[in-house]
Amino acid sequence: MTASISESERSTAARYGQILFKNRGWLPVPFLAVPLLTPGHQTSTTWVAGLLLVLMGELVRIAGVAAAGTVTRRRSREVQRLVTYGAFAWCRNPLYVGNFLAWMGFTVVSGVFWFLPIAIVVFAIEYTLIVRYEEGVLESIFGQEYLDYKARTPRWFGRPPANSTQGQHDWKEAVWSERSTFLQYVALCAVFFAKGRYV
């Protein structure tokens, strides 16, 4: 599909967002390094509350991947289709919302509560720029169809959609594609447990 470059994709915010988008694999590092390296007060309450946030975040991620497919892991600007159903009918960026909940969850697990507001601000800056780039790309490719979707669907935290959320979902593929994420969660739990017990 050939498309002109939209003004949104040409914006300064989108250009910065493109750099972050292509390197977003390392973005969790500051969210996890500080809680791992800073003393915190872990309790059974911080573990339960934190892991509930992680679980909620992962469920949101799986719902997004099930609707959009594994193309959500792309690094290029090539987009095959505009997904507006399922989790994407509730908000335009369910995978990033899921990431936010999971990363905040591990911060709660760590007991380093002073870092929570800082992490929220860092997340907001980084992912607002990434989303500005992605929105520009989608506007370039899908034009008015995307603008209509953007007008009716919140960027971040969702609200009940006015339209149907029905569409093709592949739950099995979604869960399978998240296996590396599950392993990362297990590894992080082990590290935080060791930190709380031995450090």
Query: pLDDT (tens digit, 9 = 90+) per residue, 76-90?
Result: 566 778 889 999 999
Q: According to the model, what pLDDT value does residue 1 have?
A: 44
pLDDT over 60 at 2, yes or no:
no
Q: According to the model, what pLDDT value does residue 56 have?
A: 97
pLDDT over 60 at 75, yes or no:
no
7-198: what fold?
Four Helix Bundle (Hemerythrin (Met), subunit A) (1.20.120)
Contact by Cβ (8 Å): 88, 153: yes
Q: How far apart are CA 69 and CA 96, in angstroms?
A: 15
Domain ranges of the chain: 7-198
Q: According to the model, what pLDDT value does residue 130 have?
A: 92
Q: According to the model, what pLDDT value does residue 63 have?
A: 93
Q: pTM to 2 decimals?
A: 0.87
φ/ψ region of 43 (left if φ > 0, alpha if ψ in -120 to 50, else beta) reads: beta
Range with the lowest mean pLDDT among 6-20, 98-112, 122-136?
Answer: 6-20
